[in-house]
Amino acid sequence: MKKTIFTGAGVALVTPFNDDFSINYSKLDELVEFHIENGTDAIIACGTTGEASTMSREEHLSVVERVVNRANGRIKVIAGSGSNDTMFAIGTSKGAQALGVDGLLIVTPYYNKTSQKGLIKHYNMIADSVDLPIIMYSVPGRTGVNILPSTCAELAKHPNIVAIKEASGNMAQVTEIASLCGDVLDIYSGCDEITVPIMSVGGIGVISVVSNILPREMHDMCALYLEGKTTEAAKLQFKLYNLCRDMMCDVNPIPVKTAMNLMGMNAGPLRMPLCETTDDKLAAIKNTMAKLSLI
């Protein structure tokens, strides 16, 4: 059985920007402390929610370094290091390893995409290049590439490939992955709104967008389930369902940065081509947040 990186709720951390779109490192420090204080189980830096796609490699690794240094061993730090260019992903992964991260989150290739055979070669090449545990990230709605259950089973043979962040939204697929991969591949929900359903078929937690604003609640939901208090976990899932839904009402991380700014957390602007949400979506976000007494 492979070593688990973390259980519970890891935050897919936003990258705070200043008004001139430069990285707000002091705010980044504050966010790391916020998550440690509020029970978050791991920090995932420079993923989709962290807007890594609009960062240079130097910026990307500087954010990872800042998070690692600020965390100082108090919480697991996982670096997003995926790319649609295998060799670029290898370079970023090696850079993150040198900075002392606890693991890597690697999204499937996007735009140019690849076949299932190509996915196997892509992930194995990256896994061969580092000495870190790797979480594969399947989010076909964004990338156009789905990691099929049979491909997961093949990739799980590599000792460094230990988990998958499953964001297809397809419960039948998640169930099949769990059935095929057993104890050799951990499963994290990549969809906040179905965290408990995914845990019910063997998932061990979530890599969460909503944890940026409600870290304690997301941690508690997972902890309750892992403690066998499944009814209580489900009740918390139901309570947070509308917020989870609204955090995906526009392109991630537009809604969650909007919510954080409404709460006075000063996440800053989004880097283009992402921009502020529409008036109707803003109204919906505000309405849901008000019902939870967040604003």
Residues with a known catalytic role: 137, 165
78 beta partners: 44, 103
- Number of Cβ within a 10 Å radius of residue 227: 10
**Shortest CA distance to 107 belongs to which of 134, 83, 141?**
83
- Number of Cβ within a 10 Å radius of residue 92: 25
Alpha-carbon span 2 to 160, nearest angstrom: 9
Alpha-carbon span 251 to 267, nearest angstrom: 16
DSSP letters, 38-80, are TT--EEEESSTTTTGGGS-HHHHHHHHHHHHHHHTTSSEEEEE
Q: At what angle do helices 116-129 and 86-98 cross, to 10 degrees?
A: 30
Q: Rg for the chain (alpha carbons), in Å?
A: 18
